[in-house]
Structure 1
Amino acid sequence: MKKITVIFLLVCTTIFAQTADEKQLRSIYDAALTDGMAYNWLDHLSNQIGGRLSGSVEAQQAVDYTKKELEKLGVDRVYLQPVMVPRWVRGLPEYANILSEDGTTTSVPICALGGSVATSALGLKANVIEVKSIKELEELGKEKIEGKIVFFNRPMNPKDIVTFTAYGGCVDQRYSGAAEAGKFGAVGVIVRSVNLRLDDYPHTGSMSYGDTPVKNRIPAAAISTNGAELLATALKLNPNTKFFFKQNCKQYDDVQSYNVIAEIKGSTYPNEIIVVGGHLDSWDLGDGSHDDGAGVVQSMDVLRLIKASGYKPKRTIRAVLFMNEENGLRGGNKYAQVAKSKNENHIFALESDAGGFSPRGFSFDCSTENFEQVESWRNLFKPYLIHLFEKGGSGADVGPLKKDNIVLAGLRPDSQRYFDHHHAANDTFEHVNKRELELGAATMTSLVYLFDKYGIVTSKKIKG
């Protein structure tokens, strides 16, 4: 009889907790969908400030604006964390032409890759050699590459349902293409935009010269997918086709910027920290609404929704708006460095950096035990069509926090349209849906609430 009573009490306790959690999540979603602030904040970031390239005036304006808005929330603390960041400037718009032997010129859309050097003041004209991979450079050798522009033309794999997998499958040519092609005497690099759609938008992104001396660095630009198709066709018809492009970008000395941080102090375990964040910088071609204005305003709204719901967190919940994710990760590294120096105890960190589309779930970098706990919350998210709970990556900015026992997570919105806008001039406010953005903020807040209430699983027990 005693055993039956204990089981009955455990079942009743579980049902009560589940009901309380269901009510809490419902109140969070209701508040986000009827009184959310994320969309209004994003409107200002996108339309009043615009693209926020690291080290720019606009990036500083974004720091000032988000700090002021976070202070209005009445949280316990809002502050700036200084961080030195690179300052790369695009300069005048780039332009390019395909040059046929009969003198015909065809303009194609290009943009300099972030961190690239400029061409000469007169531009760069040379024959083109098309390759599909960095490995192919080695097979061709210096004799066939020297003095030419290397055209990397490997597209994203359309068979990959998870578009981030397709992105990872070809982004190496953008990041390392110039460094590798330069070793074989190439004079420039043109890279097919990392985009599944055929359009006229060139997509920029970070690139690296590695340890290549400054004097040996060659200019690198992205070409739109339509432009890449046109250039590939021209080369098939005439391998002697030339390409001309001009770009005016320049790398300056590092400048000081800031991570913007706001927190609600925990009532029971104030020294246990939960982080939610996105990156405040963006590329300069559009206004950075999806990448990553959406993650910034969703993270800000997590704090607001927690306060609006009346929930009193046990642990300290901290929103971090990271600077310089796009071309250096200085903000994420700086935050982790300071946290380590202060011996801060971070137990959970969630990042939103995959666009403001409809949330589908989360990926987790954590122990099996912690993932099992997350799986036990699956039914709480089912009414909101959140179904994806998988082990995998988290986010670039929270990644440096990785250590034993911490749980890292990334919000995973529907990704099918994300790379249509990623790092391109059409990453703009009108392409963000208000309701989808608010659903993402509510989904993030709900997961933060659950980790705050129940804690993480250690090797021995759950600290709740």
Structure 2
Amino acid sequence: MKLVKYLLLVLVSIQVNSQSDAEVLEKIYKASLTYGKSYEWLDYLSNQIGSRLSGSLGAEKAVEWGKAELDSLGLDKVWLQPVMVPKWIRGAKEYAFIETKSGRTTTVNICALGGSVATPALGIKANIVEVHDFEELADLGEDNIKGKIVFYNRPMQPDIINTFEAYGGCVNQRYKGAIEASKYGAVGVIVRSMNLRLDDLPHTGSMTYENLSVSKRIPSAAISTNDAEMLSSMLALDKNIKFYFKQSCKQLADVQSYNVIGEIRGSEFPNEYIIVGGHLDSWDLGDGSHDDGAGIVQSMEVLRLMKELNINPKRSIRVVMFMNEENGLRGATKYAEVAKSKNENHVFALESDAGGFTPRGFSFECSDAVYNKVLAWKPLFEPYLIHHFVKGGSGADVGPLKSDTTVLAGLRPDTQRYFDHHHASNDTFDAINKRELELGAASMTSLIYLFDKYGTSSISNQEQIKN
């Protein structure tokens, strides 16, 4: 069976470099969907290693695994790039309940936000006040907030089709909610989970205290959407109900970790770099299959497919597994710093960090001139229903590479289910669809192939593309 697969792959790879772009893309998609490794890789990363919070044993194991797998691909170079990362631990499972005036309690589902301080050992119980934004918080002022727990209850806006836009419209209450509430004497913060679905799963995520002194830092936790609805309804009936929560999280000293990098050296322009990547770390509640195990294995698959199909790139192609996107972006910052110090010329950077769902297209951060040229490739992707090419954001990890000459891009899968799993305990391998994952890997490989072949300054018009 292995011999048959090998012979078929040899047939697929014959004369790839002399064929039309449409023919090459067809072979890329066929290889990914028929003999892809992304699903197998993700199975191991998710089920054998599991969650990979920065500084954890899982993250350390993921680094070792990533390097070993890249070494097995026969790349020209594989290495680890050291980076210091934060080490935050959740501790014992959080506990919370709502208490009515009569003393009746109702348990609710919460989880500490990443970076939060712990509650006192016996927890916190106080009256709770509901707000929807920082303006409403300011209007209430210290007289109505001091000594209370602030409950941020602004949902993701359901009528926004782009769910990342809806997420962006409410995530500030999670990230800066504790800072704002502490200004008015609040003793804690509870934030509605960033989730369009009504369920019982609290969603974690990063928060910040910025330069707030340790003595003024207040604990911050997320509450599930179902429990947020119930808490809001109970407050509407009785403003004097109390909320209790207990969490044991802790911030420890920074520890050393690594970005994992592999490279195929370019045959004509080896000092021009194209990178593809995602983040190797994840939150600790699930196993990080969608966020961002999917992006990691899709990026690895780009280089594997190029090797399998004998696509010899003109430019140097790197896969970068960034560490610490979730709570610090230290890996991306370090990679960009090193690239700048070495005066490396990064011409294109593609990121996958929006889940392993059905790919719909790409977003690009580039000049209008380059974008208009890239649109000439759109017909090549339309047979695979990858036709959503837009100007917009790329990704957090490639962001530090932004310059006047570097084109940044992000894979854009269907977003409608992504936030059902984002930063929650159900971000697990069973939520991954093999075919959708492999389509994303093929789409990324195809875009990398085209950018390598035509560069960014030499893309001119449709006549250049071999359809």
Q: Show the counterpart of 2:10.
A: none
* 1:43-62 equivalent positions in 2, closer than 5 A: 43-62=43-62
Q: Show the counterpart of 1:298.
A: 298
The answer to whether the Cα contact below 8 Å between 1:291 and 1:422 also exists between their aligned partners in 2 is yes
Task: List per-residue Cα deviations over 1:412-441 (Å, max 9, x = no partner).
Answer: 000000000000000000000000000000
The answer to whether the Cα contact below 8 Å between 2:373 and 2:460 also exists between their aligned partners in 1 is no
Report the alpha carbon displacement of residue 358 of structure 1 after superposing the two structures with TM. Answer: 0.3
The answer to whether the Cα contact below 8 Å between 2:84 and 2:255 also exists between their aligned partners in 1 is yes
The answer to whether the Cα contact below 8 Å between 2:114 and 2:207 also exists between their aligned partners in 1 is yes
Letter in 1 for 2:391: K
- SS of match in other structure, 1:457: coil
2:229 is equivalent to residue 229 of structure 1: yes
The answer to whether the Cα contact below 8 Å between 1:405 and 1:458 also exists between their aligned partners in 2 is no
2:272 is equivalent to residue 272 of structure 1: yes
Structure 1 residues 267 and 19: CA distance shift in structure 2, 3 A: closer
- SS of match in other structure, 2:176: helix
Q: Show the counterpart of 2:335.
A: 335
* 1:11-26 equivalent positions in 2, closer than 5 A: 20-26=20-26
Structure 1 residues 330 and 128: CA distance shift in structure 2, 3 A: same
**Between the two proteins, what is the percent identity of the paired residues?**
68
Report the alpha carbon displacement of residue 372 of structure 1 after superposing the two structures with TM. Answer: 1.1
* 1:302-341 equivalent positions in 2, closer than 5 A: 302-341=302-341
Report the alpha carbon displacement of residue 449 of structure 1 after superposing the two structures with TM. Answer: 0.1
2:429 is equivalent to residue 429 of structure 1: yes
Q: Show the counterpart of 2:8.
A: none
Report the alpha carbon displacement of residue 457 of structure 1 after superposing the two structures with TM. Answer: 2.1
The answer to whether the Cα contact below 8 Å between 1:369 and 1:457 also exists between their aligned partners in 2 is no
Letter in 1 for 2:450: L
Structure 1 residues 460 and 419: CA distance shift in structure 2, 3 A: closer
Point out 4+ residue stretches in structure 1 off by more than 4 angstroms.
458-461
Report the alpha carbon displacement of residue 459 of structure 1 after superposing the two structures with TM. Answer: 11
- SS of match in other structure, 1:118: coil
- SS of match in other structure, 1:255: strand
- SS of match in other structure, 1:55: coil
- SS of match in other structure, 1:377: helix
Q: Show the counterpart of 2:375.
A: 375
Letter in 1 for 2:35: D
- SS of match in other structure, 1:347: strand
Letter in 1 for 2:362: F
**In the aligned structure 2, how far is the partner of 1:371 from the partner of 1:193?**
36
**In the aligned structure 2, how far is the partner of 1:63 from the partner of 1:210?**
29
Report the alpha carbon displacement of residue 373 of structure 1 after superposing the two structures with TM. Answer: 1.4
**In the aligned structure 2, how far is the partner of 1:136 from the partner of 1:280?**
38
The answer to whether the Cα contact below 8 Å between 1:110 and 1:224 also exists between their aligned partners in 2 is yes
Q: Show the counterpart of 1:163.
A: 163
Letter in 2 for 1:118: A
**In the aligned structure 2, how far is the partner of 1:459 from the partner of 1:451?**
9
2:361 is equivalent to residue 361 of structure 1: yes
Q: Show the counterpart of 1:251.
A: 251
- SS of match in other structure, 2:240: coil
Task: List per-residue Cα deviations over 1:37-61 (Å, max 9, x = no partner).
Answer: 0001100110001110000000000
The answer to whether the Cα contact below 8 Å between 2:200 and 2:225 also exists between their aligned partners in 1 is yes
Letter in 2 for 1:239: K
Task: List per-residue Cα deviations over 1:60-107 (Å, max 9, x = no partner).
Answer: 000000110111000101000000000000000001000011111000
Q: Show the counterpart of 1:408.
A: 408
Q: Show the counterpart of 1:5.
A: none
2:113 is equivalent to residue 113 of structure 1: yes
The answer to whether the Cα contact below 8 Å between 1:131 and 1:151 also exists between their aligned partners in 2 is yes
Letter in 1 for 2:368: T
**In the aligned structure 1, how far is the partner of 2:395 from the partner of 2:78?**
23
- Normalization by structure 1: what TM-score? 0.95
Report the alpha carbon displacement of residue 137 of structure 1 after superposing the two structures with TM. Answer: 1.1
**In the aligned structure 2, how far is the partner of 1:157 from the partner of 1:372?**
32
5+ residue gaps, structure 2: 1-16
Q: Show the counterpart of 2:148.
A: 148
Task: List per-residue Cα deviations over 1:284-308 (Å, max 9, x = no partner).
Answer: 0000000000000000000000111
The answer to whether the Cα contact below 8 Å between 2:374 and 2:459 also exists between their aligned partners in 1 is no
**In the aligned structure 2, how far is the partner of 1:283 from the partner of 1:389?**
30
Figure out how many residues of one structure are paired with residues of the other and give that number. Answer: 448
- Normalization by structure 2: what TM-score? 0.94
**In the aligned structure 2, how far is the partner of 1:136 from the partner of 1:342?**
49
Letter in 1 for 2:36: G
**In the aligned structure 2, how far is the partner of 1:79 from the partner of 1:447?**
25
The answer to whether the Cα contact below 8 Å between 2:274 and 2:316 also exists between their aligned partners in 1 is yes
* 1:155-194 equivalent positions in 2, closer than 5 A: 155-194=155-194
Letter in 2 for 1:51: S
Task: List per-residue Cα deviations over 1:298-329 (Å, max 9, x = no partner).
Answer: 00000000111111100000000000000000
Task: List per-residue Cα deviations over 1:341-367 (Å, max 9, x = no partner).
Answer: 000000000000000000000000001
